[in-house]
Amino acid sequence: MSVTTTPAEPAFFHQAVKSAEWRAAMEKEITALEQNNTWTLTPLPHGKIPIGCKWVYRIKYNSNGTIKRYKARPVVKGYTQTKGLDYSKTFSHVAKFVSIHMVLALVAVKGRFLHQMNANNAFLHGDLVEEVYMSLPLGFHSKGENLVCKLNKSLYGLKQV
C-alpha cells in the first residue's frame, strides 16, 4: 500500500521561504506587480501610516490532480483601515453571478464552446485616487532601506479601488 502526500500550503512566510517553489512564486508575483506599476517605492511621508501586508499561498492543480503551479500573493491588511480616515468608499470590479449565468445560458442555447482563461493580476486594473501606503512584502525589504509602497493600483484586501 502506497501513501501519497499532498504538499501543504504554508500559512506563514517563514514556512514558505524554506521552499524553492514558494520563493519562485513570490518572486514571480513581485515581478508582475512591479511590471504593472502597482506601486512606487518611496519614503513614508510624515504623518502617514503604512498598511501592513501578508503573503497568501495556494497550490493550483490540474484536473488530474497534478500540481499546475504554486501561487503566492501579497494581500493588504485592509481590516486595519478606518472609513473616513484611510478610505472614503469601497468598490470592486467583479462579475455578478447573473451575468455569468446569462453567458453560460447563451453558450448552451447556441451550442457554442466555452474556454476558461486565467487573467493574472486582473484585479490590478483599478487605479487608486487616494494616497495609500503599504509596507514592503516580507522577503523584499532589500529593495530599499526605510521605503514603503505607495499604491498606484488596488491589491487584494484593500478597502478602496
- Note the pLDDT tens digit of each residue in 69-84: 999 999 988 756 555 5
Predicted local confidence at residue 22, as pLDDT: 96
Q: How many CA atoms lie within 13 A of 101 on its CB side?
A: 3
Report how far residue 58's alpha carbon sits from residue 11's, in angstroms, rounded to the nearest whole number: 10
Task: Read off the pLDDT band of 90 (50, 70, 90).
Answer: very low
Quick one: average pLDDT of 33-62?
91
Neighbours of 130 (CB within 10 A): 12
Predicted local confidence at residue 91, as pLDDT: 47
Quick one: average pLDDT of 106-125?
72
Quick one: average pLDDT of 11-32?
94
Q: Is 87 helix (H, G, I), strand (E, B) or coil?
A: strand
Q: What does the mean pLDDT of the chain come to? A: 81
Predicted local confidence at residue 72, as pLDDT: 95
Quick one: average pLDDT of 9-36?
93
The answer to whether the Cα torsion of 124, 30, 76, 94 is positive or negative is positive
DSSP assignment string, 116-127 = ----TTGGGG-B
Residue 61's beta-bridge partner residues?
67
Predicted local confidence at residue 125, as pLDDT: 52
Q: Is the pLDDT of residue 103 over 90?
A: no
